[in-house]
Homo-oligomer: A and B are copies of this chain.
């Protein structure tokens, strides 16, 4: 054992916190020190709930451990030995005792939940002598040797770094030899031989004898748990969830209780409310004669705790309610106590050892977005929590899963199988059988369904890349199900009729044989799997959704608009509560089949007059575009961005296409090809685009402004109240805006004179270049509003092309250079500084300058909380993100009002 006397210099709390009925050091508030699991074990114990006694090594010891070069500080070792003695006293067993040995579990427990990310060791304290004591004390030698067998497997894997499949093979060999079908067929004697075999294999494979000293086992396990904080997968998970490495993990050492001591024993997982739909009903799954790992790993498919639930699944007499009514009653009383105490839905682990209920863990339960809304509303009504609390508890990003299309019930479908509806929503994609494949194909722009026998933490990236996840084993609380719900991804789990062959890369189901690349569709709400693609329909939102949205609207102070280019987008945006259009990209209108030719004619024009002829053709089309958009938005503000992309984006590039275009335009092929080539740019992002187009070809913006003005005039004449907002992109200097404002204003006034209709209008600019932010005071003089184009501002401030950064961005996130992808969540330190600076400079000149954001960050909750603190008036995002933005804006406003710092997830 490696120990050190230094390393705990920075520790401010105790090294070890004890918990046992009537003698508990910690509480639920001490998550930072005890981790989530440790804090809740302490809290539960204090509440008088039956929890096996134990103690928690504080998270500060994890830092001390790493600072000491991965050694256990000496003082810690002493504290642990002291606490262990107390556990022995409480439970009346002794660690390493040959007659009635104390066994313990060693579990990780960080401040934030990191499901399945770190290591656990059970049954610790067994050796060739204590196993006999356990057999004696339990009167069940088979149980004792099976526990020992499990311990060796777990310990050799986690602590000794051995490939555990060797031991699995040895066990399978024995089963074959004996003609057994199930693990449970193995007798105590078989297991005894297996243990001997296991120990030999461990020695052969690792070169080390399996440790027989329980203390040595303990130090090894604690060391392994600390180390598991820094495994690649834990680091990846932390980065995905913005958890700082400095937090560290606590280690919980707790007396073992056994759910596998026979048919009067069991283990299970339960939720105080239904995590899938939020209904206020107790919900759980359990397995008789099993250890907790058997439930979570999804190796055996568990049975509902409630008789009613079991019955729905066609299972009779097997529920906990039916098999162990007394235990069930105590469990119900416990869950009610816990939920009332924690004021939130709880996810609990329990074990029944020979008829006695033990609670092993409670924590806030993960839930689907639908359930979260239902629970929030119910808890407000139950007066359990305030409206603000209810809003703050919801994860805005999770609303996404409610807004995505589901399968059209009227569509024709070929059902392949039906399994557990593990995470709602619909998904279609090509079948893949490995996470690597899923990631690869996603990168190639393909939509995939990841099909696995079961999933494990190694599959996290593959699951994130997939549209949906399908497993052939495991329940509603299996890894696949829990993770998919967290990601808001559709998942169908435990599809036992399916046979997946990783080698052949095939999926067999009810006579069908599907290969990699074949398309399937999942319905995560019904559990069905369909052949091919199935039509999807827009989601219908629940009453709770509306209620929460209205609550959010009442609390938020920032406006929420949508980025929408078409009346269809605008309709969607309105239906999700957008209060205007913050960005209408006019160029998207240019690609219509009826107008692209005129657009190209405009682009290849060699003289101003040729260009004007083409623009003349576009004018009525653009006018009707804007007319429809204004009509749809019924007087809500509409910000129209004038032409932005470089012109070469509109022309074809292959000789063949150019030849066709030359024919259409009656132009010489070579001349046209030269013109197209002349448009080529080395760095189009930094090239001839945005307002630069209008500085060289003013007639383009003239036409667009005229179209806007004519549309506005027509509607104002017919009685609509309307203030069009003209937005000039890519402004870098005040002078550009001066020139183009004058140009636009002149055109609008001309239209007003021609039509005799007066209307107000705003002319503003995007702030999307660092120079614009740096000189926002100069620009504000001529601008009625600013709208931050944070996509381009990120590209230029970071010198990072969104199109090209793919090949190194993941390395950047993995290495912790970027905490998150800066195109997903705004880089507050760098780009954010430009935003804050520009708001201040702009408002110094123009106190009431309207300032918004229309980059994709406008729909990202962390970014929204930043925008709140930066003083923005509104955010604009894609229509589907509008509800997310409404909730995130409300949360930001609540936090900001309470004096808290916005931007919870950012560091």
Q: A801 interface residue, CB < 8 Å from B?
A: yes
Extra 19 A-B pairs, beta carbons < 8 Å, given A695-B808, A771-B831 = A683-B803, A683-B804, A686-B800, A687-B801, A687-B804, A688-B807, A730-B799, A732-B799, A733-B818, A735-B816, A736-B817, A768-B799, A769-B797, A771-B799, A771-B830, A774-B833, A775-B830, A796-B796, A796-B797
Contact B798 A692 (CB under 8 A): no
Q: Which 8 A-B pairs have the closest CB atoms?
A: A686-B801, A771-B830, A683-B801, A687-B804, A770-B770, A769-B799, A682-B803, A681-B804
Contact A696 B774, CB 8 Å, known A684-B683, A797-B796: no
Q: How far is the CA of A769 from the CA of B808 in the complex (A)?
A: 17
Q: How far is the CA of A617 from the CA of B769 in the complex (A)?
A: 43
Q: A792 interface residue, CB < 8 Å from B?
A: yes
The listed residue (B682, B807, B833) touching A801 by CB distance below 8 A is B682
Contact with B along A271-304 (1 / 0, CB 8 A): 0000000000000000000000000000000000
Q: What chain B residues lie within 8 Å of A683 (beta carbons)?
A: 683-686, 795, 801, 803-804
Give the residue among A795, A803, A808, A816 with the most B Cβ atoms within 10 A.
Answer: A808
Q: A811 interface residue, CB < 8 Å from B?
A: yes
CB distance from A818 to the nearest CB of B (A): 7
Contact A732 B830 (CB under 8 A): yes
Interface residues of A in 808-856 (CB under 8 A from B): 808, 811-812, 815-818, 827, 829-831, 833-834
Q: A739 interface residue, CB < 8 Å from B?
A: yes
Q: How far is the CA of A161 from the CA of B770 in the complex (A)?
A: 46
Contact A686 B685 (CB under 8 A): yes
Q: A113 interface residue, CB < 8 Å from B?
A: no
Q: A750 interface residue, CB < 8 Å from B?
A: no
CB distance from A174 to the nearest CB of B (A): 41
Q: How far is the CA of A797 from the CA of B818 in the complex (A)?
A: 20
CB distance from A421 to the nearest CB of B (A): 41
Q: A805 interface residue, CB < 8 Å from B?
A: yes
Contact A808 B730, CB 8 Å, known A769-B798, A774-B830, A797-B769: no
Task: Give me 12 A-to-B residue pairs in the complex whose CB atoms sit less than 8 angstroms apart, sorted by A's number.
Answer: A681-B801, A682-B684, A683-B684, A683-B804, A687-B804, A695-B815, A696-B808, A732-B798, A739-B815, A770-B796, A774-B829, A778-B829
Q: What chain B residues lie within 8 Å of A739 (beta carbons)?
A: 815, 817
Q: How far is the CA of A522 from the CA of B295 in the complex (A)?
A: 91
Q: How far is the CA of A797 from the CA of B831 in the complex (A)?
A: 12
Q: What chain B residues lie within 8 Å of A818 (beta carbons)?
A: 733
Contact with B along A855-875 (1 / 0, CB 8 A): 000000000000000000000
CB distance from A588 to the nearest CB of B (A): 19
Contact A774 B834 (CB under 8 A): yes
CB distance from A652 to the nearest CB of B (A): 18
State how many copies of this chain the complex holds. Answer: 2
Q: How far is the CA of A670 from the CA of B817 in the complex (A)?
A: 35
Interface residue tally for chain A (C-beta within 8 Å) = 49
Q: How far is the CA of A47 from the CA of B335 in the complex (A)?
A: 107
Contact B798 A799 (CB under 8 A): no
Contact with B along A501-524 (1 / 0, CB 8 A): 000000000000000000000000
Contact with B along A666-703 (1 / 0, CB 8 A): 00000000000000011111111000100110000000
CB distance from A831 to the nearest CB of B (A): 7
The listed residue (B733, B795, B807) touching A817 by CB distance below 8 A is B733
Contact B829 A799 (CB under 8 A): no
Q: What chain B residues lie within 8 Å of A807 (beta carbons)?
A: 688, 696
Q: What chain B residues lie within 8 Å of A817 (beta carbons)?
A: 695, 733, 735-736, 739
CB distance from A285 to the nearest CB of B (A): 44
CB distance from A524 to the nearest CB of B (A): 36
Q: How far is the CA of A798 from the CA of B818 in the complex (A)?
A: 24
Q: How far is the CA of A801 from the CA of B646 in the complex (A)?
A: 13
User: Which of chain B's residues has its CB closest to A738's CB?
Assistant: B817
Q: What chain B residues lie within 8 Å of A811 (beta carbons)?
A: 695-696
Interface residues of A in 363-402 (CB under 8 A from B): none
Q: How far is the CA of A733 from the CA of B798 in the complex (A)?
A: 9
User: Which of chain B's residues has its CB closest to A682's CB?
Assistant: B803
Q: What chain B residues lie within 8 Å of A812 (beta carbons)?
A: 692, 695
User: Which of chain B's residues has its CB closest to A690's CB?
Assistant: B799
Contact with B along A763-796 (1 / 0, CB 8 A): 0000011110011001000000000000010011
Q: How far is the CA of A688 from the CA of B685 in the complex (A)?
A: 15
Give the residue among A696, A797, A816, A833 with the most B Cβ atoms within 10 A.
Answer: A797
Contact A804 B771, CB 8 Å, known A695-B812, A799-B732, A817-B739: no
Q: What chain B residues lie within 8 Å of A775 (beta carbons)?
A: 829-830, 833
Q: How far is the CA of A817 from the CA of B696 in the complex (A)?
A: 12
Q: How far is the CA of A732 from the CA of B797 in the complex (A)?
A: 9
CB distance from A737 to the nearest CB of B (A): 10
Contact B686 A795 (CB under 8 A): yes
Q: How far is the CA of A571 from the CA of B805 in the complex (A)?
A: 39
CB distance from A826 to the nearest CB of B (A): 12
CB distance from A581 to the nearest CB of B (A): 25
Contact A804 B686, CB 8 Å, known A771-B798, A815-B735: yes
Q: What chain B residues lie within 8 Å of A768 (beta carbons)?
A: 799
Contact with B along A160-197 (1 / 0, CB 8 A): 00000000000000000000000000000000000000
Q: How far is the CA of A469 from the CA of B834 in the complex (A)?
A: 48
Q: What chain B residues lie within 8 Å of A830 (beta carbons)?
A: 732-733, 770-771, 774-775
Q: How far is the CA of A808 from the CA of B686 in the complex (A)?
A: 12
Q: What chain B residues lie within 8 Å of A687 (beta carbons)?
A: 801, 804-805
